[in-house]
Copies of this chain bind each other. A is one copy, B any other.
Amino acid sequence: MFRAEPVPAARVLNEARALVRPALEETVAGLHPWLAEMAAYSFGWGEGAEAGGKGVRQALALLGARAAGADAAAGVRGAVAVELVHAFSLLHDDIMDGDETRRRRPALWKAYGTGPAVLAGDALFALAVATLAEVPGGVRLLSGTLADLMRGQADDLLFASRPWTGPEAVTPAEYRVMAEGKTGALLGCSLALGALLGGAPRPMAEALDRVGRHAGVAFQLADDVLGVWGRPEVTGKPAGGDLREGKRTYPVLSALASPEGGRLRGLLGAPDRTAEAAALIDAAGGRAAALSEARAHMAAARALLDGLPLEPGAAAELNALLECLADRER
């Protein structure tokens, strides 16, 4: 017997994009023309393929529906909603974080101004709510997700003003809660919303929500590793950017708790010594700790998946997608 060919995540993502894009475009076309123009910019429509996002959330929504035994088409409405929420949160986060670049182009607030970008984000948020208004249980699910998203973003903003060390320092446990809110909640919502639309029983939808949350924490940890050691040509961001900005990332928090913590502390305020800091964090085990923590969350996600009576084809594609989420360099 041959082993089954691994499912390429790229194919899953491409198929999801092709299925969801027309519905997403139709939804956005209902906006005020100026807001629709800003939405199109933020989705990267009309630009090269790489201008758009990978569309992980829409793919998860379709897989949620398929996992429950329905057609992927049953999840399209949920896919549209979560992509709208994701786009809204990127627009507003870029303003909050002062990030001037998004997917190798000027962030919307740099291209159109802060006020218009705030409004465009609001409009996408409202559109996501409208998309789910008639889905039983949809708005309740989305509301919980949004609350977690805001909490995660609030923590992330506040972390920056806390000391690196001492009793007020950010703990790895606080980091996990932040990452689950900021990144995991919407991934979980994507799966659960798709499952809901596909007619899944409630416990299955709830378990898929937890799968997405674990995957989100793993994704954020992988992102932290890329933020320190990622090659700029892959990440599209300058090397060592997270260190220069003083972000409380997991590798740094972990290394600070090691015997090298004192030496590292002295380097963190020096924007011209990020290469040295990165090497020290690595030597202190910060990178390994983040990757190990990411693996633990992916294992938890897979264990949950294995316990669910999912449609086998969808389960295979879901595993492939989660794999690719946590291994961002591929």
Contact = CB atoms under 8 A, between A and B. Distances in A.
Interface of A: 30-32, 34-35, 92, 95-98, 114-116, 118-119, 121-123, 125-127, 129-130, 132-134, 139-140, 142-144, 146-147, 149-151, 153-155, 157-158
Contact of A114 (B114, B126, B147): B114
Oligomeric state, in copies: 2
B129 A142 contact: yes
Contacts of A144: 130
Contacts of A127: 147
B130 A146 contact: yes
A39 to B, nearest CB: 11
B123 A96 contact: no
A123 B140 contact: no
A123 B150 contact: yes
B119 A147 contact: no
Contacts of A154: 32, 34-35, 119, 123
Contacts of A151: 32, 35
A119 B139 contact: no
Given A134-B140, A140-B133, A147-B130, A96 B118 contact: yes
20 contacts: A31-B150, A34-B154, A35-B154, A92-B119, A115-B157, A116-B157, A121-B122, A123-B147, A123-B150, A123-B154, A126-B143, A126-B149, A129-B129, A129-B139, A129-B146, A130-B143, A130-B147, A133-B139, A133-B140, A133-B143
The 4 closest A-B pairs by CB, nearest first: A96-B115, A130-B143, A126-B146, A123-B150
Task: Name the residue among A96, A126, A142 with the largest chain B CB count within 10 angstroms.
Answer: A126
B119 A32 contact: no
Contacts of A126: 125, 143, 146-147, 149-150
A158 B130 CA distance: 24
A107 to B, nearest CB: 13
A158 B35 CA distance: 11
A146 B142 CA distance: 17
B32 A150 contact: yes
Contacts of A129: 129, 139, 142-143, 146
B115 A155 contact: no
A141 to B, nearest CB: 9
A139 B127 CA distance: 12
Given A119-B154, A123-B150, 15 more contacts: A34-B154, A35-B151, A92-B118, A92-B122, A95-B114, A96-B115, A96-B119, A97-B115, A98-B115, A115-B157, A119-B157, A129-B142, A130-B140, A130-B143, A130-B146
Contacts of A155: 32
A115 B92 CA distance: 8
A97 B118 CA distance: 11
Nearest to A130: B143
A118 B95 contact: yes
